[in-house]
Amino acid sequence: MSRVFKALSDPTRRRILELLRQQPMSAGELAEHFDVSKPAMSAHFAVLREAGLIDSQKKGKSVIYELQMSVLEDALLQFAQAFGWTLQENRRSKSRSLNREVFNS
Amino acid sequence: MTTQTIYTRPLKIMILGFLGFTLAAAALAAAQRLGFIEPELVKRAMGLILGVIIVVTGNFLPKTRPLNAPGVNPPGPAAAAERFAGWTLVVVGIAYVALFLFAPLDQARRISSVLGIVAMIYVAASWAWMLRGALFGGQEESLAERRHAGEKRRLIIPLLFAFFYALATASVVFLLHNRRLIDEVGWWMSLGFWLLYAGLMVILDPKRCSNS
C-alpha cells in the first residue's frame, strides 16, 4: 500500500493515471502530454507499474499502458487530485528507480 | 513478472473471501440449529458478511479486468464498464453493511434485496454487449499472451459468476418470508448453480480457447 501512496504522491504520475482513464495509451503518446525527459517518464511508469496501478503490454515495437486500479485506489487518486497531495519524496529511492530503468532499457 | 503477481493477489483475496463467506454461512447455520445464537442475529450476521463480500469483490473487480479482450471489446469502454460495476458494488456493499447494522431486520432485508437486484440489473446492462469477449477471449497477439489471458479468464469468470449467483440467491431469499417457499427456491437455485457452472466450464474449456 505504501507503494500506492508513493505513486499517487506525484502530480505527473497522477496526470498519467487521469490520461489512462480515458483509454489505454502507448508510452510515446503519454510522453507527448508532458514536458519531461524520456528517462524521467519511464521512471514514472516504473513506479506506477510497481505499485500495480498500471499494466504494460508490448504491441509491436511500442509498449501500451493501461489502468489497473481497484476502486479504493481510484478513490485515493481522486482524493489526492482534489487536495493536491504531495509527499516529500526520498531522493535516493527516486534516483535508484531512475537508474534501474535506464539500466533496463 | 510483476503483472503476474499483481493480478493474482486480488484474485486470491476474492477467492478467500468467497470461501470465507461459504464457511461462515455454514457455521452460522450450524450454530443456529444447535441453539447457540438466535435466528435474528444469524440473519443480521449473514447480511453483514454478504455486504463485506460485495465491497471486497467490487473493490478488486476493475483490477482483475474481466472484460479485457483486445480486438473484441473496445479497451476504453470495457475499462469504464468494469469501473462502473466496481463502484456500484462498493456503494451497494456499504449500504448492506449499514442496513444490517442499524436498520430493523425486516426493512434491512427488504431494502437490501431490492438494492442488490437493481445493482445487478445495472451491471448486467452495462456489460451485456461485452460479455462475448469476456467469455471467449480476445485476439491476443502472441501465444503466451493468449494462454495467460485464457488462464486468467478461467479463474475470474467462474468466480464472478459464483458471486453474482450468490448475490441473486441471497436477494431472493431475503425477499421471501414464507419458510416453505424458501426451502424450495433454495433447492432450485443450488441445482441451477451447478447446471450453469458446468455450462460455463464447457465454454471456458482450455482446448476450445486455444483453438479459437
Domains held by chain B: number: 1
- What residues of chain B lie within 8 A of the CB of A61, using their CB? none
Q: What are phi and psi of A55, to 5 degrees?
A: -125, 145
**How many CA within 13 A on the CB side of residue B162?**
19
Cell digits of residue A91: 531522493
Instruction: Choose the closest CB to B59 out of A67, A68, A70.
Output: A70
Residue B94 C-alpha cell reads as 456499504
- The pLDDT value given to residue B1: 39
Average pLDDT, chain A: 82
pLDDT of residue A92: 47
More confident residue, B49 or A102: B49
- What CATH number did the domain enclosing A40 receive? 1.10.10.10
Residue of B nearest to A19 (CA): B76
Asked if A52 and B6 touch (Cβ cutoff 8 Å), the reply is: yes
Q: What's the domain count of chain A?
A: 1
Q: What is the pLDDT of residue B90?
A: 96
Return the sign of the alpha-carbon dihedral for residues A91, A95, A96, A98. positive
User: Which residues in chain B touch residue A45, judged by CB atoms under 8 angstroms apart?
Assistant: none
Residue B92 has pLDDT above 60, yes or no: yes
Instruction: Please give the pLDDT value at position A62.
Output: 86
Range of the domain at B65: 2-211
pLDDT at A57: 82
Q: What is the pLDDT of residues B155-205, one digit of tens each?
A: 888 888 888 888 888 888 888 766 666 667 767 777 787 788 778 777 776
Confidence at B91, pLDDT banded by 50, 70, 90 = very high
**Structure confidence at residue B6 as a pLDDT band (50, 70, 90):** very low
Q: What range does the domain containing A67 cover?
A: 2-104
Chain B residue with the nearest C-alpha to that of A53: B63
Q: How far is the alpha carbon of B11 from chain A, nearest alpha carbon, in Å?
A: 12
Sort out which chain B residues have CB atoms less than 8 A from A67's CB and list them.
62, 79
Strands (E), chain B: none
Q: Each residue of A37-47: pLDDT tens digit?
A: 888 999 999 99
Residue A17 pLDDT exceeds 90: yes
Query: Is the pLDDT confidence value at B3 over 60?
Result: no
